[in-house]
Amino acid sequence: MAFFALVESHTGEIIDVVTSLDEALPPGVMAIELPGRFDDVRAWLRARSKNTGGGGAGEAFVDGDDDGQQHGGPPRNPEYRDAEAFFARLDNEAMRADLGGRQFVVVLFDLAPVDWPLATEFATEALRAHGQELLPCDVVARLREHLAGVLLPDIEAEGMNIEPERGRTAVLGYPRDREAIDALRRRKHPWLRPPAYRRAS
């Protein structure tokens, strides 16, 4: 059986390991065929993590498990992305979840106007205030002027309660809230609408 690593072309980040390529790859993602049995794949990827150039000669850079501490550097921050990069990663996470039975969480922050200028910072601090420390694999993005989104792979939504000082939040778990997440993927989620439009409609 063949195994393929799905890799973000511009960062070299390993998104997932899959056994088939039945669907077209999302923009900005490439597939690299891996050797060996599934038990060998993770070790093979870790062995390639020293290739910091990423993606060359059939190899790919992957983040280590130590958040950069092993080489004396500071801990890495979560990824701050723009809206379209966030939606592309959301599509990838949904594919991972469907293929491997995994879960993930999306937290939407419908912000008060005073927090619009620092949307991603507000979302990050709100999560930390509720004990949810962000990891390098997590993604934080401004989805609209008034809306920030945080993607948290491989965790459950059960018991997660985020209540910031201002604005409102929605904690969406996949597959529990598949309908709402699919609406977000299609850019149809009602919170994507500007607040003035929502008040008028």
Cis peptide before 26 (omega within 30 of 0): no
Tell me which H or E stretch contains 196: helix 195-200
Pair (22, 50) in one structural domain: yes
* Whole-prediction pTM: 0.61
Pair (67, 119) in one structural domain: no
Structure confidence at residue 43 (pLDDT): 54
Q: What number is the average pLDDT over the span 145-156? A: 92
Structure tokens at 102: 């995994």
Pair (108, 65) in one structural domain: no
Query: Is the distance from CB of 4 to CB of 60 less than 8 angstroms?
Result: no
The phi and psi torsions of 175 (rounded to 5 degrees) equal: -95, 0
Structure tokens at 156: 């459950």
Q: Which of 44-48, 68-72, 162-166, 175-179 has the lowest mean pLDDT?
A: 68-72
- Angle 4-45-93 (CA atoms, 0-180°, nearest 5)? 55
Q: What number is the average pLDDT over the span 50-64? A: 34
Structure confidence at residue 199 (pLDDT): 55
Structure confidence at residue 54 (pLDDT): 38
Domain boundary among 22, 40, 71: 71
Query: Is the distance from CB of 93 to CB of 152 less than 8 angstroms?
Result: no
- Quote the DSSP letter at residue 45: H
Query: Is the distance from CB of 19 to CB of 3 less than 8 angstroms?
Result: yes
Share the mean pLDDT of the chain: 76
Pair (18, 109) in one structural domain: no
Pair (95, 190) in one structural domain: yes
Pair (137, 180) in one structural domain: yes
Pair (100, 195) in one structural domain: yes
For residue 62, give its domain range: 3-71
Q: Which DSSP string corresponds to 77-141?
A: PPEEE-HHHHHHHHHHHHHHHHHH---EEEEEEE--GGGGGGHHHHHHHHHHHTT----TT-EEE
